Structure 1
């Protein structure tokens, strides 16, 4: 009788262990599935965040390109100073947006600050940059290129349309440039005054040496 009870007790204990193991295995499997689902969800969330960040960066880059000054349409002009008789070389252009503009004249390994008609420039109005004096000192400019730095308008700038570029590049004109133009300096061909041109044409027709 005692042996029978002992065997029964052992069977019950083994059955309990089996049931406990089965439930434990099921619980572990459920936990693993939950962990896998959480990991998958985290991966999807990360991918969504990265995708959103890329879309946002594309929008910022698009704004940056929209406000970019554009390729420099270099227009160099020679103007004679009526008081001194000297020829002065200017670089002019018309910005499509309002900017703060600074710049340097590059000559060999040296740089000098450019002189222009102010630092703040309104969209659609010409910007005049003084490059240097030509005749009677020289026929062509000794300045090799212009380095222009562009920035969005500052909140203190009056009479300018206020906008900003949110791309993360500097917007303060005391920092590095937000946009840069590098403009090679060229000296335009001189057009002689009408009376000199007429004399030149007459000499050419008569076969005289030109001057």
Structure 2
């Protein structure tokens, strides 16, 4: 009798252990599936966030390119000062958007601030930049290139269409440029004033070398 009870107790214990193991295994499997699902969801969420960030960056880059000043349509002109007779070289262009514009003249290893008639320029209106006073008997300007810095308009700027570029680059004109133009300086053919032209013609008639 006692032996039978003992065997029965052992059988019950073994059965209980088996049931416990089975339920434990199922619970562990369920926990693993839940963890895998959570990890998959996290991966999908991360991928979705990265995709949204890329789309947003594409939009910002598109805006940046839309407002870019574009390739400089460089026009250099020479104007003679009626009072001094000096020949002054100017650079002119017409911006397609309104900007704040600053710049430097580059000559060798030195830079000097460009003399401009203003800092704010309205879309569609010519910008006029003084470059250099041309020296006598020199065919070209000593200034080699212009470095122009462009910025979106500041809210305090009057009579300008207000817009901004949200790409993250500087928008304050006291900071690094938002856009930059590098313009090589070219000097148009110089035309001597009438008195010099007459003197040259006389020298040519007499067979002298040009002065």
TM-score, scaled relative to structure 1: 0.91
Aligned-residue offset at 1:202: 12
1:8-61 deviations in Å (ceiling 9; x for gaps): 011001101100100010010001001000000100110000000000000000
Per-residue deviation at 1:138?
A: 3.6
Secondary structure at the residue paired with 1:139? coil
- 1:137-193, Cα deviation, whole Å (9 max, x unpaired): 743210000000000000110100000000000000000000000000010113467
Deviations 1:41-86 (A, max 9, x none): 1001100000000000000000000000001111000000011110
Q: 1:205 to 1:109 in 2, by over 3 A?
A: closer
Residues 80-130 of structure 1: CA deviation (Å, up to 9, x unaligned): 001111000000000000000000000011010000110000000111110
Contact 2:78–2:90 (8 Å) recurs in 1: yes
Structure 2 Cα separation of the partners of residues 204 and 85 of structure 1: 23
Gaps of 5+ in 2: none
Aligned-residue offset at 1:196: 8.9
RMSD of aligned alpha carbons: 2.6
Cα distance change of structure 1 residues 66 and 155 upon mapping to structure 2, 3 Å threshold: same
Runs of 4+ in 1 over 4 A off after TM superposition: 191-211
Question: What residue number does 2:117 align with?
Answer: 117
**TM-score, with normalisation over the residues of structure 2?**
0.91
Contact in 1 for aligned 2:139/2:190 (Cα 8 Å)? no
The count of aligned residue pairs is: 211
